[in-house]
């Protein structure tokens, strides 16, 4: 969406402990007559559903991305889309018009941005989830672990869905405990959004006028000082209050040192570490020396950048097209700079999952697979229309993607730089805890060592529970 809606808000409203207990008892764990093994069998039988069986099937879709049905009614040409909402709605319209089976996808209404997961959880609790649901890859394990999603490995094989074309990060986003529970749609990540005019005024461009990004901690602070001294502008901007971006920056800097906040197997908390201390030290120093504003909200950072007051803004893929169109200065985006040895940045993914129904219906399951396969096959329209990175190698390699505005400047993020959250249940609670503890160091003067130790204790408790 070409707006300033915060992406962290959706993920922060994932499955709470109370909702998790509700979901565990909602009766879907035995849907189809036998739990996970039955779900795998149901998935494997989908290829046997005939075209005649599918004829005229109607399925429901639960999604976010906004409301735009009035603007897109009857539109099937995705090139007409101007926002995330319009891209996904027009793709849905096109599927309804084009699929050979006459399948019709109807969106469930009423799920707005900040209550999406609450509304989705309510459908599970009521025993009537949608046939298809969008999720963040970081939230998928919460649902897969409770056997609420249909495993898709057999369906992928039986219906010739080319997951071999998925990028490493796209594949990881739909996988939980070695099983596939969704199809990937994108990788969205934090990037460096640059005001080239400020870099030029500060003398931080090469002979061709390209901005020179810092490649070490020392270079970061040298560049920050140069911008401040020569232009008076803020060097680094981002959402450092009322949101998770500060924690995601800390995690990226830890990743750049070859470490993780939580081990990939989800068993060990690694918050209280030398790498986390080094990362937090960088962040606190940039606040202390006036190179970043510690109380800057998402909206404030966004507006400051568009007004031309920030040299380098940390924000996501979702604003690339907006900035490319609206910036009154020379704008460029880039992969997030590596201040330590290993390039890395926070990332997540939108994925399409198929909830298990209380009364399993292979025909509706198969119709749902046909729809999510269509979306997977049309990731190029999504990537070109939204700024998000495709989760398919063929799209990243296509001339259309490479020639789209700014895309070539950050394609490497999708290939090697992105770092997804660990594939664990309750990740959102882990991130929220980190945000609470870490933000206190720059907002309330909490001692960094104590903040990391307290966060370590809290994350250990969450992982054990």
pLDDT tens-digit series, residues 8-52: 444 444 444 334 434 444 434 444 344 555 555 555 678 789 999
Q: Are residues 286 and 354 in the same domain?
A: no
My answer on whether 37 and 14 are in the same domain is yes
Per-residue buried b or exposed e for 83-100, using 16+ beta carbons within 10 Å of the residue's own CB:
bbbbbbbbbbbbbbeebe
Q: Residue 116 domain-assigned?
A: yes
Q: Is residue 459 part of a domain?
A: yes
Which residues, at least 6 apart from 133, have a Cβ–Cβ distance to it below 8 Å?
61, 62, 63, 120, 352, 353, 354, 355
Is residue 131 located within the same domain as residue 199? no
Q: Which helix (H) or strand (E) holds 9?
A: helix 7-12
C-alpha–C-alpha distance, residues 60 and 306, integer Å: 39
pLDDT at 111: 62
Residues 114 and 208 in one domain: no
Task: Return the CA Rg of the chain.
Answer: 22
User: In this structure, are 307 and 449 located in the same domain?
Assistant: yes
Question: Residue 47 sits in which domain range?
Answer: 7-187+349-377
The total domain count for the chain is: 2
The secondary structure of residue 413, as a DSSP letter, is I
The tens digit of pLDDT for each residue in 182-207 reads 999 999 999 999 999 999 999 999 99
In a domain, 84, yes or no: yes
Q: How far is it, in rounded angstroms, from Cα 14 to Cα 136? A: 9
- Residue 82, in any domain of the structure: yes
pLDDT-derived band at 109, boundaries 50, 70, 90: confident
Residue 177 lies in a domain: yes
CATH of the domain at 239: 3.40.190.10
- Residues 44-90 pLDDT 10s: 678 789 999 999 999 999 999 999 999 999 999 999 999 999 999 99
- Please indicate, yes or no, whether residues 207 and 69 belong to a single structural domain of this protein: no
From 339, 357, 377, the end of a domain falls on 377
Q: Which two tokens stand for residue 86?
A: 């319009």
Q: How many CB atoms lie within 10 A of CB 75?
A: 15
Per-residue pLDDT at 320:
97
Nearest to 31 by CA among 118, 128, 121: 128
The 8-class DSSP code of residue 416 comes to I
Q: DSSP state, 190?
A: E
Residues 180 and 268 occupy one common structural domain: no
Banded model confidence at residue 115, pLDDT cuts 50, 70, 90: confident
pTM for this predicted structure? 0.91
Tokens of 143: 């649902």
With contact defined as beta carbons under 8 Å apart, do 440 and 189 qualify?
no
């Amino acid at each position: 969406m070409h707006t300033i809606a915060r992406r962290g808000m959706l993920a922060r409203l994932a499955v709470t402990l109370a909702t998790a207990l509700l979901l565990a008892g909602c009766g879907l764990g035995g849907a189809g007559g036998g739990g996970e093994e039955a779900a795998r069998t149901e998935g494997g039988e989908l290829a046997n559903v005939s075209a005649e069986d599918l004829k005229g099937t109607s399925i429901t879709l639960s999604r976010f991305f906004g409301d735009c049905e009035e603007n897109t009614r009857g539109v099937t040409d995705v090139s007409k889309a101007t926002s995330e909402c319009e891209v996904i709605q027009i793709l849905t319209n096109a599927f309804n018009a084009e699929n050979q089976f006459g399948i019709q996808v109807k969106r469930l209404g009423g799920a707005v941005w900040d209550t999406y997961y609450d509304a989705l959880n309510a459908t599970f609790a009521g025993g009537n989830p949608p046939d298809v649901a969008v999720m963040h890859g970081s939230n998928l394990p919460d649902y897969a672990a409770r056997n609420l999603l249909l495993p898709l490995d057999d369906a992928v094989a039986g219906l010739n869905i080319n997951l071999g074309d998925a990028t490493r990060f796209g594949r990881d986003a739909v996988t939980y405990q070695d099983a596939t529970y969704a199809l990937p749609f994108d990788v969205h990540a934090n990037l460096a959004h640059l005001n080239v005019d400020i870099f030029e005024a500060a003398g931080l461009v090469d002979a061709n006028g390209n901005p020179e990004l810092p490649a070490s901690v020392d270079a970061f602070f040298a560049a920050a000082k140069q911008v401040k001294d020569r232009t008076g502008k803020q060097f680094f901007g981002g959402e450092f209050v009322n949101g998770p971006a500060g924690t995601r920056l800390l995690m990226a800097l830890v990743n750049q040192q070859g470490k993780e906040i939580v081990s990939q197997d989800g068993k060990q908390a690694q918050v209280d570490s030398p790498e986390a201390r080094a990362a937090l030290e960088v962040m606190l120093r940039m606040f202390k020396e006036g190179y970043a504003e510690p109380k800057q909200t998402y909206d404030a950072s966004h507006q400051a950048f568009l007004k031309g007051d920030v040299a380098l803004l940390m924000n996501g893929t979702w604003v690339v097209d907006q900035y490319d169109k609206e910036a009154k200065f020379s704008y460029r985006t880039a992969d997030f700079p590596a201040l330590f040895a290993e390039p890395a940045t926070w990332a997540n993914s939108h994925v399409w999952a198929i909830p298990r129904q209380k009364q399993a219906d292979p025909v509706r399951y198969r119709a749902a697979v046909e729809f999510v396969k269509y979306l997977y096959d049309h990731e190029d329209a999504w990537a070109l229309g939204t700024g998000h990175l495709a989760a398919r190698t063929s799209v990243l390699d296509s001339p259309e993607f490479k020639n789209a505005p700014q895309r070539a400047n950050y394609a490497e993020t999708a290939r090697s730089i992105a770092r997804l959250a660990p594939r664990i249940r309750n990740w959102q609670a882990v991130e929220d805890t980190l945000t609470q503890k870490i933000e206190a160091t720059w907002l309330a003067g909490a001692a960094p060592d104590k903040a990391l130790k307290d966060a370590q204790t809290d994350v250990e408790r969450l992982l054990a529970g």
